[in-house]
Copies of this chain bind each other. A is one copy, B any other.
Amino acid sequence: MKYNFDPNLPIYLQVIEEIKRDIFNERYLPGSKIPSVRELALQYGVNPNTIQKSLTELEREGLLRSERAVGRYVTDDTNSINKAQKEVSDGVVDNFIKEMKALGFSITQIVSMINERNR
C-alpha cells in the first residue's frame, strides 16, 4: 500500500485521516498499541515531526492515549471511537450531498448513481 499524499493539503491532516480510518476499520484494535513515531514515519515516508503532530492531535481528540516512554495506545473506550467515526462519516456524507446538489442532482439521482457504481 502506497501513500500518495495530496500536495494541496497539509500532510499531517492526511495522516490523521489515515490513522482514524485504521482505528475505525479495526486495523488498530481498541486498547492496542500503535507503531512508534519512527515506524509510522517510515511507513508513510514522512518526517517524524509530521507524525508527531498528527498523533498529538489524535490524542487531543481522545482517540489515542500515550504512556511516557512506553508507547501510544488506541483508546479502549469504544464509545468515543464510534462517536468519532460517526462524526467523520457524517461530515463526509454532508459534504458529498452538498457537492452533488450544487452539481444539480437530487437525492434520488444520487442514490441511484451510488447503486450503479456498486454493480
Contact = CB atoms under 8 A, between A and B. Distances in A.
Interface residues of A, number: 32
For the residues of A in contact with B, the DSSP-based class is: helix
Interface string A47-66: 00000000000000000000
Contacts of A92: 96, 99-100, 103
Interface stretch (A28-36, A38-46, A71-79, A107-115): A107-115
28 contacts: A8-B9, A21-B102, A21-B103, A24-B103, A24-B104, A25-B102, A25-B103, A25-B104, A85-B103, A88-B103, A89-B100, A89-B103, A89-B105, A89-B113, A92-B96, A92-B99, A93-B100, A93-B110, A93-B113, A93-B117, A94-B117, A97-B117, A107-B114, A107-B115, A107-B117, A110-B114, A111-B115, A114-B114
